[in-house]
């Protein structure tokens, strides 16, 4: 283990068992944060040069050394492991080893408390951006298929009982709109947490005229977390909101997966999931199971569990408390697993193969009863009267076709008027934001 950065003459003997407990798997989790921590450290070094705490040569040497660390880390030549207490200490150790005394100047005006907070904000901005991109591509596939398959009849269910003729167009467009909403939410939450806590140090500010605004701007933040105490109190609070955005997507994914796994059952027989996403059974030679769909459905449980674990940590007084370290595992675990899963979805959806004949054949004539009632309304009857009349005609609806029913469902958004262009326009506007 490299010397602790907080080691001083008065430091007593450090018990390795205690240190192992304090570190937990922090150093491993910090692998996710290190690239962001390096970026923030470069901006911090440049900021220190602007206020003359570093010479411009010293800052340039630090930035170059941090670039080397970034490259070595990406190439697997620098491994963040138990030699270090955490990623923050590893950066300082690297700089001291690389640059000697100059390296020890990086920590002027900052604390690991604002260092971890800024790395986490950059990490969350990045992951929310990825989440948004994935939601956009899921919505894109759904819209494309909605267009192509808009006229294919599908029995519509409520209470899992057949209700009215519906269409694949309506089904796809419904899931498209959900993921457009989830893209918007990821963007909104990304904007909401787009603030730099760097330069708040341990939570009280420092007696140096730090150029916080320019450092934040260089890092691409839109504003500062102004108050140093709040920079710490917001830890966990912002992580929860980031997980909210993720959980909106995984909740919709859960429902979508449910639909697919029902439709893929032999009883429905509406759809086949591509073999690339299925596995066989170890005992039943006949089986081909849509496991991917099922584990995608289970993703939401991971996210909700992470959210609740994180929230339970936050019963804390103001200021930095080491408890806050425990907000990292649920956040990082949920985003890693969640984005991994979501990234499979566009291809899985693109490869679904429908059985249109089976879908159409399972629409029985009674499903046209609501159409019949509304037809009578069109002829001037009160709806309640028409409802009773249609109920009495249930046996006489066999002359109708699902295709005609879909065509005539002209209310905006309905099967005959899906308004896909509106969904397209909203998606494009959000993508180009
Ligand atoms: N691993 C710590 C965390 O995530 C880093 C900050 C340590 N700060 C401290 N004062 N010990 O919270």
pLDDT digits (tens, 9 = 90+) for 27-38: 889 999 999 999
> Does one domain contain both 371 and 397?
yes
Q: How many domains does the chain have?
A: 3
pLDDT per position as a tens digit, 147-180 = 999 999 999 999 999 999 999 999 999 999 999 9
Task: Give pLDDT, residue 14.
Answer: 74
CB-CB contact of 214 with 47 (8 Å)? yes
Kindly state the tokens that stand for 429.
């506007």
Is 319 a domain residue? yes
Give the domain range for residue 395.
365-431
Residue 264 has pLDDT above 70, yes or no: yes
Q: What is the pLDDT of residue 157?
A: 97
Same domain? For 242 and 292 the reply is yes
* Dist. CA 232–CA 327, nearest whole Å: 12
Kindly give the residue spans of alpha helices, DSSP state H, lying in 284-325: 291-313
* Helical ranges in 264-412 per DSSP H: 291-313, 328-350, 356-361, 369-378, 383-392, 402-408
Say whether both 388 and 262 belong to one domain. Answer: no
In a domain, 24, yes or no: yes
The residue to mutate among 87, 107, 113, having the most atoms of ligand 1 within 8 angstroms of its beta carbon, is 113
Distance CA 411, CA 11 (A): 75
How many Å apart are CA 232 and CA 318, to the nearest integer? 8
Per-residue tokens: 368: 């046209």
pLDDT for res 200: 98
Q: What is the pLDDT of residues 51-64, one digit of tens each?
A: 999 999 999 999 99
Q: Residue 5: how many CB atoms within 10 A of its CB?
A: 18
If asked whether residues 253 and 195 sit together in one domain, one would say yes
Contact between residue 364 and residue 354 where contact means Cβ atoms under 8 Å apart? no
Nearest alpha carbon to residue 115 among 180, 54, 179, 196: 196
For residue 87, is it within any domain? Answer: yes
Ligand 1: distance of its center to the CA of 330 in Å?
Answer: 16
Average pLDDT over residues 179-207: 98
**Using CA positions, which residue lies closest to atom 3 of ligand 1?**
325
Closest by Cα among 36, 38, 31, 90 to 64: 38
Q: Does 201 share its domain with 61?
A: no
CA of 150 to the centre of ligand 1 (A): 54
Mutate to test the pocket of ligand 1, among 28, 29, 112 (most ligand atoms within 8 A of CB): 112
> Mean pLDDT score of the chain, rounded to an integer?
96
> Phi and psi (nearest 5°) for 164?
-150, 160
State the pairing for strand pair 271-272/353-354.
antiparallel
| Among 87, 108, 129, residue at a domain's last position | 108
CA distance 364 to 60: 75
DSSP run (H or E) holding 246: helix 237-263
For residues 246 and 388, membership in a common domain is answered with: no
Which residue's CA lies nearest to atom 1 of ligand 1? 325
pTM exceeds 0.75 for this model: yes
Same domain, 240 and 316: yes
Question: Model confidence over 212-244: pLDDT tens digits?
Answer: 999 999 999 999 999 999 999 999 999 999 999
CA 322 to centroid of ligand 1, rounded, Å: 6
- For residues 37 and 129, membership in a common domain is answered with no
The tens digit of pLDDT for each residue in 360-408 reads: 999 999 999 999 999 999 999 999 999 999 999 999 999 999 999 999 9
Which of the listed residues 331, 361, 391 is the one where a domain comes to its end? 361
Residue 1 has pLDDT above 70, yes or no: no
The answer to whether 85 and 4 are in contact (CB under 8 A) is yes
Instruction: Give percent above pLDDT 70 in the chain.
Output: 100
Same-domain check for residues 244 and 311: yes
CA 371 to chain centre: 40
pLDDT of residue 83: 87
The whole-angstrom separation of Cα 154 and Cα 357 is: 10
Structure tokens at 320: 């930095």
> CATH number, domain at 57?
1.10.275.10
Whichever domain contains 331, its CATH number is 1.20.200.10
Q: Report residue 104: phi and psi, to 5°.
A: -70, 0
Q: Ligand 1 centroid vs 180 CA: distance in angstroms? A: 37
The residues lining ligand 1, judged by C-beta closer than 6 Å to any ligand atom, are 26, 86, 112-113, 116, 320, 322, 324-325, 328
The answer on pLDDT for 191 being more than 90 is yes
Rounded-to-integer distance, Cα 260 and Cα 247, Å: 19
Is residue 7 situated within a structural domain? no
Q: Using an 8 Å Cβ cutoff, are 131 and 245 in contact?
A: yes
CB 155 within 8 A of CB 362: yes
Closest CA to 34 of 56, 11, 66: 66
Q: Is residue 145 part of a domain?
A: no
Q: Is residue 160 part of a domain?
A: no
Same domain, 97 and 228: no
- Residues 280 and 189 placed together within one structural domain of the fold: yes
Co-location of 80 and 120 in the same domain: no
Angle at 223 between CA 55 and CA 56, to 5 degrees: 10
Tell me if 3 is assigned to some domain: no
Hey, which of 116, 235, 323, 330 would you mutate to test ligand 1's pocket, going by the most ligand atoms within 8 Å of its Cβ?
116
Indicate whether 154 belongs to any domain.
no
3-state SS assignment for residue 154? strand
Q: Helices marked H in 10-111 — which ranges?
A: 16-23, 26-50, 56-74, 87-99
Q: Average pLDDT, stretch 65-70?
A: 98
The residue whose two tokens read 């010479």 is: 55
Last residue of a domain, one of 361, 383, 414: 361
């Amino acid at each position: 283990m490299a010397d602790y950065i907080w080691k001083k003459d008065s430091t007593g003997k450090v018990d390795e068992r205690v240190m192992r407990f304090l570190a937990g798997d922090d150093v491993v989790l910090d692998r996710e944060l290190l690239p962001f921590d390096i970026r923030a450290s470069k901006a911090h070094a440049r900021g220190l040069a602007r206020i003359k705490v570093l010479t411009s040569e010293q800052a340039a040497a630090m930035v170059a050394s941090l670039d080397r660390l970034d490259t070595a880390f990406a190439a697997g030549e620098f491994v963040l492991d138990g030699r270090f207490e955490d990623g923050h200490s590893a950066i300082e150790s690297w700089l001291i080893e690389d640059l000697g005394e100059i390296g020890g100047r990086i920590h002027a005006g900052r604390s690991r408390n604002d260092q971890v907070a800024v790395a986490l904000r950059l990490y969350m901005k990045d992951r929310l951006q990825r989440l948004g991109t994935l939601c956009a591509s899921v919505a894109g596939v759904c819209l494309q298929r909605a267009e192509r398959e808009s006229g294919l009849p599908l029995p519509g269910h409520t209470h899992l009982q057949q209700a009215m003729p519906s269409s694949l167009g309506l089904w796809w467009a419904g899931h498209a709109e959900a993921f457009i909403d989830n893209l918007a939410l990821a963007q909104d939450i990304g904007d909401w947490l787009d603030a730099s806590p760097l330069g708040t140090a341990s939570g009280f500010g420092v007696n140096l005229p730090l150029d916080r605004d320019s450092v934040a701007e260089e890092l691409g933040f839109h504003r500062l977390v102004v108050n140093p105490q709040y920079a710490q109190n917001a830890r966990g609070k912002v992580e929860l909101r980031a997980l909210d955005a993720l959980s909106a997507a995984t909740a919709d994914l859960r429902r979508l997966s449910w639909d697919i796994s029902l439709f893929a059952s032999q009883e429905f027989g509406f759809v086949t999931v591509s073999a690339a996403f299925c596995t066989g059974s170890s005992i039943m030679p006949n089986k081909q199971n849509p496991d991917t769909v099922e584990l995608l459905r289970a993703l939401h449980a991971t996210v909700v569990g992470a959210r609740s674990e994180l929230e339970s940590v936050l019963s804390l007084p103001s200021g930095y408390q080491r408890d806050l370290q425990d907000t990292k595992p649920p956040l990082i675990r949920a985003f890693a697993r969640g984005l991994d899963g979501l990234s499979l979805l566009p291809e899985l959806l693109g490869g679904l193969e429908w059985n249109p004949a089976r879908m159409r054949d399972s629409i029985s004539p009674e499903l046209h009863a609501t159409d019949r009632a509304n037809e009578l309304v069109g002829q001037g009857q009160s709806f309640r009267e028409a409802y009773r009349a249609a109920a009495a005609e249930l046996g006489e609806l066999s002359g109708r076709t699902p295709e005609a029913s879909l065509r005539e469902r002209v209310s905006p958004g309905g099967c005959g008027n899906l308004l896909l262009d509106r969904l397209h326009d909203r998606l494009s506007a959000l993508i180009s934001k």
